[in-house]
Structure 1
Amino acid sequence: MKREYPIDQTGEIFPHFPVVLTTIGDNIITLEFVQFFSFEPPIIGIGINPDNYSHQLIEDKKEFVINIPTIELIDEVKFCGNNSGRNLDKFSATGLTTKQSEVINSWLIEECPINIECRVIQEESIGNCDWFFGEILKVHVTEDYNRLDALLYSGNFYQDFKLRELK
């Protein structure tokens, strides 16, 4: 038997979202609204609330890097998600290492095993987020990357692919 569920709480029962550290210029934002929208050409979309400092940056720069963190970076992920880059250098505050991207003018996060350089090709306002669709221009990946080490977000907590809640 199924029961009716509150529409505004659907995000709590929806399968897990990937968590990424997105760099826009020299700022880092933690995002879980990340989705592949096309494989040919390869396009990734990210959702950012218009009140967010990173929203202003992506509007100006029209480019971003998706940095996929591992479970070892959970503290940095939480810090970047809970603090604004408006008055804070998140790279200095977290100790994350910058590396210049090869195609766009933004930092890569060296500690992340995957970095995906994207240029914004379209923007759409949908609900409480604006979606920025970026064509993938360059992908960097470490040889020992295991996608099971990536982070997921569900119902206000982080998990790994074994669905263990991370503190």
Structure 2
Amino acid sequence: MTKISWKAGNMIYPLPAVMVSCGNCKDNYNIITIAWTGTICTNPPMTYISVKPSRHSYDIIKETGEFVINLTCESLVKATDYCGVKSGRDFDKFKEMNLTIEKATKVDAPMIKESPVNIECKVKDIIPLGSHDMFTAEVVAVNIDDEYLDENNSFHLNKAKPICYSHGGYFGLGKKLGHFGFSVAKKKKSKRKRK
């Protein structure tokens, strides 16, 4: 195997493809699809999204200081793509994609009802980085669809069939290959059968 050196660029794939909803009233509600997002701190819980200043949602988020990260799944893949290529300046994305506006619990930005997980966020900082500005935010509430809870109230996001984004394509997630810590976990001793 031979490595080929390319110019510097972002090659960290796959990434979550999320729909970020924003706005503080029906007149400015919007959705933007974001792949530059992730966790940045556990305590307090913090996340980030990176947005081009030219995007319609940029000014809405900057002015309101709030947004909701809505996780996506296979049933939302068309809406996820649409909300990334169409502008809220020209289209009501909730209407065009038949998405349901749901009231959030801690922020004025709307949630997307069809999303299995809605993460309510309040902006802490806006960091200009170049092509994108990073909005760091504190997570103030998480809302989950109880359809994916089992009888012990354990949440199973994999049952929602989440999607990711990689090199211009959307993909479903494959089979589970292990769990956190499996590589160092001690093997359970099997009980010997008594004769």
Report the TM-score, using the length of structure 1 for normalisation. 0.91
**Alignment-derived partner of residue 56 in structure 1:** 59
Offset at 1:8? 4.2
- Tell me how far 1:156 sits from its aligned partner: 0.5
Structure 1 segment 1-167 matched on structure 2, within 5 A: 1-11=1-11, 14-25=12-23, 26-145=29-148, 146-148=156-158, 149-162=161-174
Letter in 2 for 1:23: S
Higher helix share: 1
Distance apart, 1:160 and its partner CA: 1.2
Question: 1:40 & 1:127 partners in 2: Cα distance?
Answer: 28
Q: Is the 8 A contact 2:32 2:83 kept in 1?
A: yes
Distance 1:8 1:49 in 2: 20
CA distance in 2, matches of 1:21, 1:53: 14
Describe the SS at the equivalent of 2:41: strand
**Change in 2 beyond 3 A, CA 1:45/1:10:** closer
In structure 1, the gaps of 5 or more residues are none
User: Residues 42-66 of structure 1: CA distance to partner in whole angstroms, max 9, x if unpaired?
Assistant: 0010000111111111111110000
* 1:29-51 Cα shifts (integer Å, max 9, x gaps): 01101110001100010000111
**Structure 2 spans left out of the alignment, 5+ residues:** 24-28, 149-155, 176-195
Greater relative contact order (CA < 8 Å, ≥ 6 in sequence): 1
Aligned 8 A contact 2:116 2:157 in 1? no
Distance in 2 of aligned mates of 1:8 and 1:108: 36
More strand by share: 1
Q: What amino acid is the match of 1:3?
A: K
Measured in 2, the distance between the counterparts of 1:3 and 1:10 equals 17
Amino acid at match of 2:90: N
- AA of the residue aligned to 1:147: L
The code of the aligned residue for 2:74 comes to I
C-alpha distance in 2 between matches for 1:113 and 1:17: 17
Q: Which residue type is aligned with residue 5 of structure 1?
A: S
> Partners in 2 of 1:44 and 1:52 — Cα distance?
20
Q: Percent identity?
A: 29
State the alpha-carbon separation in 2 of the partners of residues 6 and 110 from structure 1: 42
Matched residue count: 161
Please identify the structure whose Cα radius of gyration is greater: 2
Task: State the TM-score, normalized to the length of structure 2.
Answer: 0.78
Root-mean-square deviation (Å): 1.5
